[in-house]
Amino acid sequence: MAAIEAQPFPFPARPNELALIVIDMQRDFAEAGGFGESLGNDVSRIGKIVPDVKRLLEGFRAASLPVIHTMECHRPDLSDLPPAKRDRGNPTLRIGDQGPMGRVLIAGEAGTSIIAELAPVDGEIVIEKPGKGAFYATGLGQALAEKGITQLVFAGVTTEVCVQSTMREANDRGFECLLAEEATESYFPEFKVAALSMIRAQGAIVGWTAHVDDILKGISHA
């Protein structure tokens, strides 16, 4: 066991049961002209975490620990897209519409892909998810069980939506969850702060949070 310095107290890492899950680091959320920007968001906030996410990826790869990527996306025929999700609000682009990088959040389109700097390598699992949480309507749970994973380190976006949703799903399924603070972000800085506080409140009710350097130190001898 390798204790990782974290809040609200050290995370009891078991490297042989630990994996990194990188949530939705997709072009449509992180790049100019994508879906995130079409909603009025400052996507540069997402771009700023790329170096820290990359450091985590490289650290887990160097330690030969499993890495999992998720992408929020839907089938081309929209059969897995509830009308309530597509029709909500009054955006300039809706899921499935043609955008600057192809159809918005549709599997196989350019904008749906993971940004080049963080692209999966051979052997890494990629989960296509139709919801905010990565367990709903996916094979994530089975993939983790097959690898004997009981602990998850989280990175990606956005902190308060897809990241926190997946952490809560994982927590309910008995996983121990650790969020890398510099490797996650929100379009709204106050939402990130609130989400971090909610996750680690009441004795890590959802999970722990830690700095990237402390996580890398903790897995360096895995």
Query: Looking at the annotation, which residues are catalytic?
Result: 24, 129, 162
Three-state DSSP at 188 gives coil
Pairs from 81-86 (Cβ < 8 Å, separation ≥ 24): 81/130
What is the full DSSP assignment across 16-49? GGEEEEEE--BHHHHSTTSHHHHTT--THHHHTT
Q: What is the chain's Cα-based Rg?
A: 17
Q: 72: which strand partners?
A: 129
Instruction: Annotate 60-109 with three-state secondary structure.
Output: HHHCCCCEEEEEECECCCCCCCCHHHHCCCCCCCCCCCEECCEECCECCC
User: CB-based contacts of 45: which residues, under 8 Å, 6+ apart?
Assistant: 185, 186, 187, 189
- The DSSP call for residue 160 is I
